[in-house]
Structure formats: structure tokens, C-alpha cells
Amino acid sequence: MRKFKEFIIEKLILFSGLASIFFVVLIFLFLLKEGLAVFKTVGFFDFLLGKKWYPISEPARLGILPLILGSLLVTLGAALISIPIGVGCAVYIAEVAPLKIKEILKAGIELLAAIPSVVLGFIGMVTLVPWVKHMFKIPTGLTALSGSIMLAFMAMPTIVSIAEDALYSVPKAYKEGALALGATHWQAIYRVIVPAASPGIMAAVMLGLGRVIGETMAVMMITGNAAVIPRSILEPVRTLTATIAAEMGEAVVGSEHYFALFAVGIVLFVISFAINVGADLFLHKENK
Amino acid sequence: MFNRIVIAALLSFCFGAAYAAESIQIKGSDTIVNLSQSWAERFMEDNPDDFIAVTGGGSGTGIASLISGTCDIANASRTIKEKEIALAKERGINPYEIKVGLDGLAVVVNPKNPVDRLTESQLSDIFTGKISNWKDAGGEDKKIVILSREVNSGTHVYFKEHILRRNDPKSREEFAPSALLMPSSQAIADEVSGNPAAIGYYGMGYISDSQKALKIAKDENSEYASPTIENVMSGKYPISRPLYIYTNGEPKGLVKKFVDFILSEDGQRIVLETDFVPIN
């Protein structure tokens, strides 16, 4: 009887384990089925490298290069802002902060993670956008930079909490050894602890960026959504995610536009898959 | 506007089950979501047992839901496309068009902008990017920031066909790629009120003191006219479009009762109250 119970529980857990993979595969297959249909009408390279996105015109122009570059630019900007601050914050929490401040900081960061992105987008729209416009004396504040700053806030909680875990799991003996050899606290952090935790920190950064590139609502509200190839971070951009969100409601099911949006989804899937695999590789390096 | 939508959504969620037999779902054009909401509120005051839920999302979204059977009435600020009719027929839906009002489209700039009048061809040149500096349109030396609605908006489609392409079906003019595509009319209004270089368009119901509506003329020889209800009714103001609702087949039951209310004197008075132009 007990054996039978064990057997049932084991199978149930196995099923739960496989379910998520099963769903990912299903989603991917669906994306492929709907998305690849667009290549019947548009060439593969015309789609990926085309510079014009006019999906509802006759004939439609379906080039997503401006969208890819828009997504990458916003992500790059967010990375430049969130990585130094996020990693610095993690080091402070893990190594420097007194217990009380540590608790407050951790709670604060968890709270930051809990703010819905539409709220961040709304706050960005009324505060950040006019500020950016004023600060850089540019025609409009709805730019890639505004999106980057807002998304940096969203990436930060992921980066901080995972990087902090990585720093925390560096064996105490490393730090004690460094201090015993006469290193100052800062030298021990900089030369010993951070390098020892670097695979985990890299993974933290990757996962943070994965969140950024998939973010939709906030970028749709504050990046201006103009499908141009951006020449600087102070220009409006249109991201892959915002394009899907803004246009899916209108796309007639089964039309070229509809398939193109699914193909945009495939591109996004591939990018975030690559980022996640990258993060995984770094984590594995750490475990060896 | 958002509040109302949220409340309507919540209400429909709470009472949806209880009054399932006596409720109408309306979805579609953001341009007339407020008008539609006013109709619904007044109608529900008179008929407390009936329930009408109104949501926005854009004309395309509304028609798509009518086709997929998730709403009873689709609001649209453009006529239904051939493609959509074909798709609807495939699903056994028979879109029935009812004209419910007119909407003047205002072209707005910041009150600080000295420009106060433009011709339709100037508008076309500005929105396609041929004129990119305000000094070429009688203003200051400033780069023009073009604001447009997203492609799911009936206003976007109307403006492209009637202004950018000047009603010429063979024309291939497009919005300049640098045009900012805003998710709502309110977002355009907000950006225009804070940005002296911006130009945008929306239904004249959205005009407020923080934006300046331009006087528009068909060409240089015609009279410039402001987007007012009188000018739209008399045809002096050139940019106006009909507003439609679509139902599945000729309206029946509660839908018919509601449509009759919309077309009644009371219903058309509400059209006027919400800054649109009644049909008669």
C-alpha cells in the first residue's frame, strides 16, 4: 500500500515536472505554426532586415529591423543603468550593510519588484518623460532613454536578489583568508568575493535583462513607439513587445499582419531563450 | 475615462451572471467610448433592469470582437473593411451598419505655438514628413514632433486616407516613420499640452484649454474654419467623419431598444453634449 502511495506521488511530481516543459513546447510550436506563415509572403531577410514597418498598408511593409534595434537599444540602456547600481546594491547588502539596514533594503527591493509595470509606466509618463525632454533639450521626452531608465527599475530587483544570493554563497573561508592575509575589507570584496561570485552575478544580470527585453506595458507608454532605426538613445523607438501589444487587437485573424506579429513573437522568444541559456551556462560554471 | 471603463468592467463582472439575460456588451472605438458610456448610463437610468457594459480598445478591436461573438455592438469610427465583412460571413455573423453621429477631427498644437491655421495639403506634408520644421509652416525654427494614434485606431486610418492620401485610393503616402504612435487620444492630448513642438489629431471632444485646435482649410483659396459643431454640421470644417455602430444582423430585443434610444431625440442630444455632431 505504501509502495503504491509512493508510486502515485512520484508520478504526480513527474507529471508536474514535465508539464512546464510540455507547455513551453506547445507554445513554441504554436508560435512557429502561426509565425512561419508570414514567410510565404515576405522573404526571411526582408522581414528581419527590412527598415519599414507599415503593417496595415496595401501592400504591407513588414520589416522589423527598427523594432529589433529599438528593443536592443532600450535593453542596452537599461543594462548600463541597472547593472552597476544593482550589483553595487547587492555587494552592499551582502557584505557591508549592518543587519537592520540590510533588512530594510531587502524589503524595499522586494517592494520595487511588486510594483506593476503599468504603474511604473504611468509614473514615468508624467514625471520622467517631461524631465528627459527638459534635461536634454530634445523635441520630445518619449525616448529610448526614458524607457531604459524605467526598465532599469524593473531589472534591479532581479539583479539585486540573485547577485546577493551569489555573494552570500561564497564560502566564509575565502573572506576570512583574505582578511587574515592583510587585505582591507574593500580589497577582500573587490579581489576575492566578487570574483568568486561572478558566475552568479552574471546569471543575475542575464535574468534581469531577460525581464527587460520582455517588458511591454511601460515601454509602450513611454518610448514613443515610432518605428525608425534609432540613431541615438535620445530618439523615440518602437520595441518588439510594444508592437505586438498595440497591434494584436486590430490584426485580422489569418491576415499577413497577424502572422507577422507571431513572427515578431518568435524573434522575441529566440532572444529571451538565448539570454536564459546564457544565464544557465554561467550558473553551471559556478557549480563546477 | 479609464475609471469608467474599469467600473463598467467590474460591474459587468459582478452582475454579469445575475443579469446575463438582459445585458449588452459594447466594444470598440476609443473616440466614442465616452459618448457610448453616456448613452449607456442614461439608458440604464431609464431601464434599471437592463445592463450595458462599454469598453474601448479601438474600432478594429470592436469589430474583431463582433466577429468573434464577444460583443453585441461594435463602435467604429470608420466603415467596416471588405476583409472584415468576409471574415464575419465566414463565422456566420452579419454586420449591420448604423450611423449614429459625426465627429470633427481636430488637429491640435500647443497654445505656445504661433501657428493657428493650415491647409489640408500642408497637413499632409507635415504628417508624411515632407515638412519637418515649423518654420516651413509659418512657425518658429523647431523640429516638428508628429503624434499619431496606433494602427488599431479608426482615427489613424481615417486621417491617413483623407488627409495624408487626400482621398486618392492610389496614393502610397504614409505617416512619417518618425511619427510617435500614441496608445490613446488622451496620451496625444497630454503630450501636446506639454510640448510646444508637437502636432497631433483627435476627435474634437478631446479639445481642452491646454491644446490649441488649428483652423483648417481645404486649400489655399477656401475659408479657414475652426472645428466647432456648427462648422462640422454646415460642412465648412473639412475634416469630419461619420461614426458607426455595428450589430449582428438587424438589431433585435434589448439591442434594438438601445439603438432606438441612441437615434431618438434624447440620444442625439447626448451626442451634442459630448461634443460630437448629431446626424439630424
Quote the pTM value: 0.78
- Could you tell me if B53 and B24 are in contact, meaning their C-beta atoms sit under 8 angstroms apart? yes
Domain co-membership, B203 together with B251: no
Per-residue pLDDT, B167: 83
Residue B279 lies in a domain: no
Q: Rounded to whole angstroms, how far apart are CA atoms A62 and A46? A: 8
Residue of A128, A133, A250 to mutate, testing the B interface (most B Cβ within 10 Å of its Cβ):
A250
Mean pLDDT of A186-190: 90
Q: B118 versus A282: which is more confidently predicted?
A: B118
Please give the helix or strand (H or E) that residue A12 lies within, else none.
helix A2-35
- Could you tell me if A247 and A49 are in contact, meaning their C-beta atoms sit under 8 angstroms apart? no
How many separate domains does chain B show? Answer: 2
Per-residue pLDDT, B16: 44
Provide the 8-state DSSP code for B133. Answer: B
Q: For residue range B216-226, what is the model confidence (pLDDT) as tens digits?
A: 998 888 889 99
Per-residue pLDDT, B72: 92
Q: Following DSSP, what letter does each residue of B42-70 receive, concatenated?
A: HHHHH-TT-EEEEEEE-HHHHHHHHHHTS
Contact between A140 and B178 using a beta-carbon 8 Å cutoff? no
Residue B50 lies in a domain: yes
Domain co-membership, B95 together with B132: no
Per-residue pLDDT, B166: 86
Q: Which domain holds residue B33?
A: 2-103+242-273
Instruction: Give chain B positions within 8 Å (CB) of A140.
Output: 145, 180, 191, 195, 197-198
Q: Rounded to whole angstroms, how far apart are CA atoms A115 and A208? A: 16
> Distance between terminal CA atoms of chain B?
27
Counting residues of chain A whose pLDDT is more than 90, the rounded percentage is 52
Q: For residue range B94-119, what is the model confidence (pLDDT) as tens digits?
A: 999 999 998 889 999 999 999 999 99
User: Confidence band (pLDDT; 50, 70, 90) for A75?
Assistant: very high
Contact between B197 and A228 using a beta-carbon 8 Å cutoff? no
Is the confidence at residue B11, as pLDDT, over 70?
A: no
Residue B26 lies in a domain: yes
Residue B191 lies in a domain: yes
Q: Rounded to whole angstroms, how far apart are CA atoms B12 and B8? A: 6
Mean pLDDT of B19-44: 84
| Chain B, nearest residue to A134 by Cα | B195
- Could you tell me if A201 and A90 are in contact, meaning their C-beta atoms sit under 8 angstroms apart? yes
Amino acid at A96: V
Sequence spans of domains, chain A: 44-283
Query: Does residue A151 sit at the B interface (CB-CB below 8 Å)?
Result: no
Domain co-membership, B138 together with B66: no
Contact between A249 and B178 using a beta-carbon 8 Å cutoff? no
Is the confidence at residue A251, as pLDDT, over 80?
A: no
Q: Rounded to whole angstroms, how far apart are CA atoms B24 and B4? A: 16
Give strand pairing partners of A237.
A224
Per-residue pLDDT, A287: 56
Domain co-membership, B227 together with B257: no
Q: For residue range A193-233, what is the model confidence (pLDDT) as tens digits?
A: 999 998 889 989 998 998 899 888 889 889 988 888 988 89
User: Confidence band (pLDDT; 50, 70, 90) for B18?
Assistant: very low
Is the confidence at residue A45, as pLDDT, over 50?
A: yes
CATH architecture of A44-283: Orthogonal Bundle (1.10)
For the question of an ipTM over 0.90, the answer is no
Residue whose C-alpha is closest to residue B77's, from B35, B42, B40, B43: B35
Residue B88 lies in a domain: yes
Per-residue pLDDT, B1: 46
Looking at CA atoms only, how far is residue B222 from chain A in angstroms? 31
Is the confidence at residue B15, as pLDDT, over 70?
A: no
Distances in whole angstroms, Cα of residue A268 to Cα of each of A38, A49, A91, A174, B192: 16, 15, 32, 40, 32
Beta strand spans in chain B (E): 23-28, 51-57, 73-76, 95-109, 117-119, 145-149, 180-182, 198-203, 212-213, 215-217, 240-248
Per-residue pLDDT, B40: 93
Residue B84 lies in a domain: yes
Q: What CATH number should be reported for the domain holding residue B21?
A: 3.40.190.10
Mean pLDDT of B80-98: 89
User: Confidence band (pLDDT; 50, 70, 90) for A57?
Assistant: confident
Query: Does residue A254 sit at the B interface (CB-CB below 8 Å)?
Result: yes
Contact between A236 and B151 using a beta-carbon 8 Å cutoff? no
Q: B18 versus A39: which is more confidently predicted?
A: A39
Domain co-membership, B132 together with B83: no
Residue B94 lies in a domain: yes
Give residue A70's Cα distance to chain centre.
14
Domain co-membership, B85 together with B146: no
Q: For residue range A118-162, what is the model confidence (pLDDT) as tens digits?
A: 898 889 988 999 899 889 988 888 999 999 999 999 999 999 999
Mean pLDDT over the full length of chain B: 86
Q: Which of A228, A249, A254 sits opposite B60 (nearest CB)?
A: A249
Looking at CA atoms only, how far is residue A75 from chain B in angstroms? 20
Q: Which three cell numbers stand for residue B212?
A: 490649441
Query: Does residue B177 sit at the A interface (CB-CB below 8 Å)?
Result: yes
